[in-house]
Structure formats: C-alpha cells, structure tokens
Amino acid sequence: MIWFIIIGMAVVTVLPRVIPVYIVDFIQFPLWMNKWLKAIPYAALGALIFPGIMTVIPERPYVGVIAGVVAMILAWFRIHVIGVVAIAIITVYLFTI
Amino acid sequence: MQIRDGLIAGFPIVIGYLPIAIAFGVLARQAGISLVELTGMSLLVFAGAAQFMAAGMIGIGVSAAEIIIATFVLNLRHFVMALSFVHQLQHIPLKWKGALSIGLTDETFSVSSIYKHKAEQSYCHLFYGTIIITSYGSWVFGSFLGGVLGDVVPEQLTQSMGIALYAMFIGLLVPSVRKYKRIAIICITAMLVNYLLNPLIGQGWGIVAGTILGAFVGIFVLEEEEI
C-alpha cells in the first residue's frame, strides 16, 4: 500500500517538472511573457522565504524573522551564501539555549 | 571546471537538506513507514514538503488517493518554476533539459536561476547537473540516516538548522536586489500574496499564486535591458 502511494506521488511530482520541457519549444513567447519568465525566480524566492521563515521555531515566529534579517544584512555586505547560512544557523541556535 | 563550480554552488543546499532529510527520516519511522520505504520515497519522489505531508498523512491513515492528490497540488509550483528553468536553458539538448527538470526542487531551481549566466557557457548542463545530483544525494542519504538514527539527533540542533534553506534563499536573492533594486518589488509582492492567501488556499497554492502574481508585477517594473 505504501509503495502504491510512493509511486503515485513520484508520478504526480515528476509530471509538472517535466511537461514544461516539451511545451516551451513549441511556444513563441511574446516579450511580456519573456519578462514574466525571467521574473519568476525572484518571485518564487520571495514566496518561498515568507511567511515560511516564521515556522522555523513554530511557537516563536520572531526567531526566524530575526535570523532572516541577520542573513539579509550579511548578504547585503557580500558575505558568501555559505557564510550567510552558517551564521543564520548560529543565530537561531542562540535563541534555543 | 563546471563540476567543481556546481559543487560549490550546490553546497548550501546540501547543508540545508541534510538536517531536514534526517528529520523526515525520523518522522517517517514514527509514522510507521519502514526504512526501505522511506528511503525509496526520497529516491523516487524527491520533494521535501510533499514527503513530510505524506508521512504525516500515512501516520494518521489517510487514503492513498488523498495523499497523491495533495502531493500533486503541493508540487504544482514546480510547473511554473520548470517553465522558467527550461526557458533559461533553451539551447541545451532536449534530453538534458528533461533529465535536469526531473530533479527540479524549490532549492535546485533557486540556485540554478541565480547562476543563470552559467547557461551561456559550454558544458553548462554539467554545472546544473552537479547541483542537482549533490542535492539529491544528500536528500536520500539524510533520509536514510534519519530512519536509522531515529530520535538521537537533538531537536535543538535540527530546529536551528531549519533556518538553513531560508538563509540560502535570502543569500541568493539579496545580491540580485542590491544590483537591481526593482527586483525587491517583485519579491515583496510575492511574499504578500503568499502571506495573505496561504491561510485561505493552503501552502502549495499560496506559493503558486505568489510566484505567478509576483512575476506578473515584474512585467511592469523590469526594464528589458536590465535582466
């Protein structure tokens, strides 16, 4: 039964990821749609960050927000992503002790 | 060269995936899923949020059809992401586009999009492929480890590491905003749309709506020569 669920999940997960490969080549995108497609990564990043970041410690949403602000400041001053991730982890850890 | 760059670009995903995958392994065992089944799920599905949801639903005995439909809805956001990803890789062979899109997650998509200048280089599929393979490997390995370890990893640590992927998203986004401030308008729109709609239409649709509408605002605020 669980294997049936797993295979079903695999199919419905892979379809949305792969179908665009076979349709993009057949569509002639107008200029506005090109812009839309190029803006998608930034919009997706925004939607992935917030409000999800508030659930890092579900009972204390502000902890995720503070760590997020710390990450923003570090990234603004050109700290490498790996450093940003490391310091954000330490920030949250300090709130849990 | 492309493989080395891919390893460096993919490293933050590995850091972020490991603790989440371990947490998934632990949760799945508690839901009564065997070690082989949970590792198999990570191997075949490779979709973090959906797997967490499925483990929870299996634990409380929800029907297979409901779990599969819920997975579909939650993962529809990858359709929008794949459209953008494939558009970025227009000139690489179809078989590579197909292979790479199978491994598209929120994280592999985000990292690949930020390194979009790589798409113009030769052997760029090796760069994107390396990001995806290392991420996938850490996801599967972490799930297995979580299933074996059970609850021995202190919760404090896994909880703290839950910030890793968000920090990575921020670390990817901020330099783009710094370079071209109008991008912030797109992100903030997407955040607000997701925040407002999330409680009404659920996590999956919230991200889909935020991404589509946020990018739609981009049509008006971005200048062609800047992107």
Q: Does residue A28 carry a pLDDT above 90?
A: no
Residue A68: alpha-carbon gap to chain centroid: 13
- Report, as an integer, the average pLDDT of A84-94: 94
Distance (Å) from the C-alpha of residue A78 to the closest C-alpha of chain B?
Answer: 7
- Give the helix/strand (H/E) hosting A17: helix A2-24
Contacts of B198 (CB under 8 A, 6+ apart): A51, B206
Q: What is the pLDDT of residue A10?
A: 97
Residue A97, classified by CB atoms within 10 Å of its CB into exposed (0-12), middle (13-18) or buried (19+), is exposed
* Cβ-based contacts under 8 A for chains A and B: 287
For B28, other C-beta atoms within 10 Å of its C-beta total 28
Q: pTM for this structure?
A: 0.89
Q: What is the pLDDT of residue B225?
A: 66
Kindly give the residue spans of alpha helices, DSSP state H, lying in chain B.
Answer: 2-30, 35-44, 48-59, 64-75, 77-88, 94-102, 106-114, 124-149, 155-161, 164-179, 183-221
What is the C-alpha separation between B178 and A76, in angstroms, rounded? 7
What is the C-alpha separation between B163 and B85, in angstroms, rounded? 25
pLDDT tens digits, one per residue of B77-108: 999 999 999 999 988 999 999 999 999 999 99
Minimal-distance CA residue of chain A relative to B114: A41
Minimal-distance CA residue of chain B relative to A6: B41
Reported as a pLDDT band with limits 50, 70 and 90, residue A31 is: confident
Chain B residues with beta carbon closer than 8 angstroms to that of A42 = 173, 176, 183, 186-187, 190, 214-215, 218
Radius of gyration of chain B (CA): 18
A89–B79 C-beta distance less than 8 A: no
User: For A9-24, b where at least 16 C-beta lie within 10 A, e where not — what string?
Assistant: bbebbbebbbebbeeb
Minimal-distance CA residue of chain B relative to A79: B171
Distance (Å) from the C-alpha of residue B56 to the closest C-alpha of chain A?
Answer: 13
B193 touches chain A (CB under 8 A): yes
What is the C-alpha separation between B3 and B5, in angstroms, rounded? 5
pLDDT tens digits, one per residue of A36-45: 999 999 999 9
Distance (Å) from the C-alpha of residue B3 to the closest C-alpha of chain A?
Answer: 18
> Best mutation site among B24, B60, B170 for testing chain A: the one with the most A CBs within 10 Å?
B170
Pick from B61, B80, B59, B76: nearest CA to B202: B76
For A95, other C-beta atoms within 10 Å of its C-beta total 16
Radius of gyration of chain A (CA): 19
Minimal-distance CA residue of chain A relative to B169: A45
Minimal-distance CA residue of chain B relative to A71: B167
The shortest CB-CB distance from B163 to any of A46, A64, A81 is to: A64
Q: What is the pLDDT of residue B226?
A: 62
For chain A, percent of residues with pLDDT exceeding 70: 100
Q: What is the pLDDT of residue B185?
A: 97
Mean pLDDT computed over every residue of chain A: 93
Chain B residues with beta carbon closer than 8 angstroms to that of A46 = 173, 186-191, 194, 210, 214
Q: What is the pLDDT of residue A15?
A: 97
For B151, other C-beta atoms within 10 Å of its C-beta total 10
B114 touches chain A (CB under 8 A): yes
Amino acid at B188: I
Q: How many residues comprise chain B?
A: 227
Low-confidence ranges of chain B (pLDDT < 70): 151, 225-227
CB-based contact B41:B33 (threshold 8 Å): yes
A45–B110 C-beta distance less than 8 A: yes
The shortest CB-CB distance from B50 to any of A13, A84, A88 is to: A13
B68–A8 C-beta distance less than 8 A: yes
